[in-house]
Amino acid sequence: MSTYPPPQSALDPSFVTTALELPGYKVVRNLGIVRGIVVRSRNIFGTIGAGLQTLVGGDITIFTELCEKTRQDSFAMMALHAHQMGANAIISFRYDANEIMNGVTEVLAYGTAVHVEKL
């Protein structure tokens, strides 16, 4: 499975939910757990810029943008994984993040790949 660069989302985002079911649809097949993992580090310029932003307070936009892009990429990889398994939806979707080492973070998007049909 090619994972980088991150793919376009292979599933309709409205068919990805944190719930155990998708309203108006029934799960006809459970295909198993799917995931998308991205590991990112901060670059020195971003770290310096973020440090300057902390002096004035408020949103640290450099880190906000990095975090948002990382989440989008892990979500897209998870959706591609589900699509490759034959799923048309993901239930029980979650994000998880861990610092692997100073300045290096892993973001994991995961859920259960399912095939659903309209009720």
Query: Any idea where the domains of the chain sit in the sequence?
Result: 13-42+73-118
d(CA 107, CA 46): 18
Phi, psi of 33 (to 5 degrees): -75, 140
Averaged pLDDT for residues 45-56: 54
pLDDT tens string 74-113: 999 999 999 999 999 999 999 999 888 877 889 999 999 9
Averaged pLDDT for residues 20-32: 96
Q: What is the CATH number of domain 13-42+73-118?
A: 3.30.110.70
pLDDT band at 52 (very low <50, low <70, confident <90, very high): low
Please report, to the nearest 10 degrees, the dihedral formed by the alpha carbons of residues 11, 14, 19, 22 taken in order.
-90
Q: What is the pTM of this model?
A: 0.79
Half-sphere exposure of 110 (CA within 13 A, CB side): 9
pLDDT band at 28 (very low <50, low <70, confident <90, very high): very high
How much is the pLDDT for 76? 92
